[in-house]
């Protein structure tokens, strides 16, 4: 679970997850274009690739290869595990 928190600690990685939430199954090129165009993040492909590796290692994304392309998909399973471990309750309510 520590890998999940490490991955989520970086604002760029959270932005990548936001992009995959909005449009799942993107290639590295598509993610780079969206980060530059929509968020004015000027990152090299190598930097984005390293961020994607951290997210994949934490289990927050999965990849699928098709021909020459590698597609990145959001996987919220690790986040569900966090919510199961620490359920969100409203003030004054029992878990």
pLDDT per residue, tens digit, the chain (95 aa), is 679 999 999 999 999 999 999 999 999 999 999 999 999 999 999 999 999 999 999 999 999 999 999 999 999 999 888 878 787 776 656 55
Helix H or strand E encompassing 18: helix 11-22
Q: Residues 73, 64: contact at Cβ < 8 Å?
A: yes
Find tokens 């929509």 and name the residue: 38
């Amino acid at each position: 679970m520590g890998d999940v928190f490490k991955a989520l600690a970086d604002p760029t990685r959270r932005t990548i997850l936001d992009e995959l939430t909005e449009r799942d199954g993107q290639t590295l090129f598509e993610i780079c274009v969206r980060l530059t165009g929509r968020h004015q993040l000027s990152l090299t492909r190598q930097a984005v690739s390293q961020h994607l590796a951290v997210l994949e290692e934490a289990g927050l994304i999965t990849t699928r290869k098709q021909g020459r392309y590698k597609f990145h998909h959001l996987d919220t399973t690790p986040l569900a595990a966090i919510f199961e471990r620490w359920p969100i309750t409203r003030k004054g309510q029992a878990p």
